[in-house]
Chains A and B, each alone.
Chain A
Amino acid sequence: MRETENVLQGTELLELRLRSLYERYGYRKYKMSRFEEYSLYLENRNFLKSDRIITFTDDRGKLLAMKPDITLSIVKSAAAEGAAERVYYSENIFRAASGSAEMREMRQVGLEHIGPVDLYAESEVLILALESLAAVGRDHIMGITHLGLVTGLLDATELPEREKASISRLIGQKNAHEIAALCTACGVSRELSEKLCALASIYGTFPESRDALRSLVVNKATESAVEELWELYSILQAAGYGDALRVDFSIVNDLSYYNGITFQGFVEGIPESVLSGGRYDNLLQRMGKGGAALGFAVYLDELERLEAAESRPDTDILFIYPENAPAAEIAKAVRELTGRGRVYAATKQPPQMTCRELVEWKGETEK
């Protein structure tokens, strides 16, 4: 393993660790082609974070796209009925970077659990998500929400879809003052309006949020959502993961694809989420498949930023040999040195190159 760690750096090594983690829990690697028919994304526009997609026509005139997303392809290929897939992937995707219009190639590792989903299956995926965050080796936090609670409260307002979408967007911004204003303008009862504001503002560990969560129950849907969150929390707490969890309803995903628990992971030092996932039974239904599914993705390109901070020397051993030295003997000397680490051989020290050790070879074999 040490040898692997010498070569693999930062996100490459992390990718290897994540893959081995998912394998140990019975997930199989899913290798897919780089291209997908464009129509798949056209039909599921809102599932994607960005609607900018690189497209091209193949030799038979079919419109193809460079994959902006992996989940859709996995769901598409899953069996129609009674599918039970446990797969993980590590692929490059192509999408516009957040806050910019430039297209980028991004590395994503993730897993999908399609098929019967029970409480254990949910907690397993959550544990794997938390372990994935821990593998980065920094302080991490995972926010978790239950969309059933959000939709339950929104439905109780009996507002038209447009207003509900606005409120849902405001919850994502923790913008309680505008939720209150919108509710007043639309004639939503004071009680419900206060609950929606509270929902947007809740942020804390489960024990801290206990009372606030309980106060949000207005109907059956919201009650079972709160119960499910607590059950999951107790399982994760018992497994020793409770401290990293936060109740956070500002994670809003498109409600026509996602339902149930949704989560997002953050790592100290990175200003964006590095992991995102949740339950997506609705997507399965939209694609004509029954059943339940959940999964998550880790954004390795976000994590690359951590690497820059942890620099290592350009090489372990800088090997300087005289210009007239016989090549065969240099080859022999270099080969011996490679046993001790990375060797860079040159006749003089390249400018600005850093090394752990400088070896100057005088021409005679060192014995």
Chain B
Amino acid sequence: MKMLNIALPKGRLGEKAYGIFEKIGCGCPEIREDSRKLIFENGETGVRYFWAKPSDVAIYVERGAADIGIVGKDILLEYEPDVYELLDLGMGRCRMAVAGPKGRRPDPDRTLRVATKFSRIAREYYESQGREIDIIHLNGSIEIAPLLDLSDVIVDIVETGSTLRENDLEVYGEIVPISARLIANKAGYKFKSGRIEQITAALRAELEK
């Protein structure tokens, strides 16, 4: 049997997603052990897992190093990888939102300075509104930008909103809801469609329980 390669995002979401794979009988006991191994195989069920940086999962799948993977919708919207999106796992729910200093609204007469990790999402959102913006691409701690007057607003993922509140920021508007998705490589799907469909159906059934 050919191995089915599965890419999981490092972190809480990936671990939670793996839990579901385990429940549907696609587990790999090794993965729970504390080790420095990078790739985990279960010869009996024919699955092979590996952990990747969340934004890289889409690349591994698009390029065929993984047949399927779990990735946030934010990554799919930002990088637009050429992959199948087979299932909404409904976990890791949050939203892509515009936020800024509490009680203030940016002057509509000036170019809006937007700090974000998600340049494409921000650009497309403001293009649809016909608003001229200046994108400031940051790689982390986006919340600081408006506090130091680097930007007027930020476009970022908001989960509970506590980071925003603690820094006197608030959500101005929601762009799109986000959750984890099951994606598949288009060519891999062609040759392993039976198993991928079987796993998709089992995951769907498990999530609906």
Contacts and interface: CB of A to CB of B under 8 A. Distances in A.
Interface of A: 98-99, 139, 141, 143, 173-175, 177-178, 203-204, 246, 248, 250, 266, 268, 270-273
B186 interface: yes
Given A271-B64, A271-B185, A173 B191 contact: no
Contacts of B125: none
Contact of B191 (A139, A248, A272): A139
Could you tell me the dominant secondary structure of chain B's interface residues? mixed
Contacts of A175: 84-86
Interface string B180-209: 000011111111010001000000000000
A173 B187 contact: no
A32 B187 CA distance: 32
B92 interface: no
Contact of A273 (B84, B86, B187): B187
Contacts of B52: none
Interface in B53-68: 59, 62-65
B193 A268 contact: no
B88 A177 contact: yes
29 contacts: A98-B82, A99-B59, A99-B63, A99-B81, A141-B190, A141-B191, A173-B83, A174-B84, A174-B184, A174-B189, A175-B84, A175-B86, A177-B88, A203-B189, A203-B197, A246-B190, A250-B84, A250-B186, A266-B187, A266-B190, A266-B191, A268-B191, A270-B64, A270-B187, A271-B185, A271-B187, A272-B64, A272-B187, A273-B186
Contacts of A268: 191
Given A99-B81, A174-B85, A174-B86, A204 B187 contact: no
Contacts of B188: 271
B63 A271 contact: yes
A173 B84 contact: yes
Contacts of B62: 99, 271
Contacts of A98: 82
B4 interface: no
Given A99-B62, A173-B83, A177-B88, A272 B193 contact: no
Nearest to B61: A271
Contacts of B65: 271
Given A173-B84, A173-B85, A271-B188, 9 more contacts: A99-B62, A99-B63, A141-B190, A178-B85, A203-B193, A271-B62, A271-B64, A271-B185, A273-B186
